[in-house]
Amino acid sequence: MQPDFVEADRATRLKFWGFASLLLLLIVLERLTSPSAALRAADPVRALNKSVDRLLIIAVITAPFFIASSIYLIRLAIKVTQSGRWPPAGMRVAFRTRIYRGRRATVNSILMFVLAGLSLLATPALFYT
pLDDT over 90 (residue 117)? yes
**Residue 18 falls within a domain, yes or no?**
yes
Give the E-state strand segments of 62-119 in sequence order.
Answer: 85-86, 97-98, 100-101
Range of the structural domain that residue 16 is part of: 7-128
What is the rounded CA–CA span in Å between residue 104 and residue 26? 34
The whole model's pTM is what? 0.79
**Residue 1 falls within a domain, yes or no?**
no
**Residue 90 falls within a domain, yes or no?**
yes
Mean pLDDT of 14-32: 89
What is the rounded CA–CA span in Å between residue 63 and residue 48? 22
**Residue 53 falls within a domain, yes or no?**
yes
The tally of domains found in the chain comes to: 1
Whether 74 contacts 116, CB under 8 Å: yes
51's enclosing H/E stretch is helix 44-83
Tens of pLDDT along 33-46?
Answer: 777 777 778 888 88
Whether 98 contacts 5, CB under 8 Å: yes
**Residue 85 falls within a domain, yes or no?**
yes
**Residue 2 falls within a domain, yes or no?**
no
The pLDDT of residue 128 is 79
